[in-house]
């Protein structure tokens, strides 16, 4: 067992001695994850906006990169909630991961549709696989604050 940082709070009861209550300090993990999520979210928004400006003539591409920007914005919001030790930040992070996986799979599915099925479903399957891998990996990372410091989240 590793030593833990805690505050000792005592209250003396008359005639019975001293009663000691140990209150454990909150972990800094959710704050760190929150700061990292906000930084990644802001960088992702900037990247998505840059891509939107690069393909401004193509409406479908703008919508797909716009969906990516929304995903990063929701991820940034999840980071802010985690920074405030709110359990809701993990669930909002899962929503951001789902939107991000959709924005990854959608272009591949649309490419398959544009080819009128000449790809034999390969491109749509590839998009679904890539979106699924992204959802699993990012979902595990988003779940880490809950798994490691679940008791610290409100």
In a domain, 80, yes or no: yes
In a domain, 15, yes or no: no
Residue 150 pLDDT > 70: no
Residue-level pLDDT at 123: 83
In a domain, 20, yes or no: no
Check residue 17 and give left, alpha or beta (phi > 0: left; psi -120 to 50: alpha): left
Q: Which residues of 93-103 are buried (b: 16+ CB within 10 A; e: fewer)?
A: bbebbbbbbbb
Distance CA 102, CA 98 (A): 6
Q: Are 80 and 92 in contact (CB under 8 A)?
A: no
Q: Are 144 and 33 in contact (CB under 8 A)?
A: yes
Residue-level pLDDT at 148: 80
What would the DSSP string read from start to end of the chain? -----EEEEEEEETTTEEEEEEEEPPPSHHHHHHHHHHHHHHHHHHHHHHHHHHTTT-HHHHHHHHHHHHHHHHHHHHHHHHHTT-THHHHHHHHHHHHHHHHHHHHHHHHHHHTTTTTTTHHHHHHHHHHHHHHHHHHHHHHHHHHHHGGG--
Domain that holds residue 127: 27-152
| Confidence grade of residue 1 (pLDDT, cut at 50, 70, 90) | very low
Q: Among 45-54, 63-72, 120-129, whose mean pLDDT is lowest?
A: 120-129
Q: Within 13 Å of residue 144, how many CA atoms lie on the same side as its CB?
A: 16
In a domain, 6, yes or no: no
In a domain, 12, yes or no: no
In a domain, 8, yes or no: no
| Confidence grade of residue 31 (pLDDT, cut at 50, 70, 90) | confident
Residue 3 pLDDT > 90: no
Residue-level pLDDT at 14: 57
- Proportion of the chain above pLDDT 90, given as a percent: 35
pTM for this predicted structure: 0.76
Number of domains in the chain: 1
In a domain, 13, yes or no: no
Q: Higher model confidence: residue 18 or residue 48? A: 48
């Amino acid at each position: 067992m590793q030593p833990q940082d805690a505050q000792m709070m005592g209250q003396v009861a008359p005639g019975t001695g001293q009663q000691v209550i140990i209150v454990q300090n909150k972990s800094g993990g959710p704050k760190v994850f929150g700061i990292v999520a906000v930084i990644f979210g802001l960088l992702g928004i900037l990247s998505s906006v840059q891509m939107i400006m690069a393909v401004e003539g193509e409406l479908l591409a703008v919508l797909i990169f716009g969906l990516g920007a929304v995903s990063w914005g929701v991820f940034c919001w999840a980071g802010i909630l985690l920074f405030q030790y709110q359990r809701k930040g993990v669930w909002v992070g899962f929503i951001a991961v789902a939107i991000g996986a959709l924005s990854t799979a959608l272009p591949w599915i649309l490419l398959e549709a544009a080819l009128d099925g000449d790809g034999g479903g390969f491109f749509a399957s590839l998009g679904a696989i890539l979106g699924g891998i992204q959802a699993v990996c990012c979902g595990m990372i988003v779940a880490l604050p809950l798994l490691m410091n679940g008791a610290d989240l409100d």
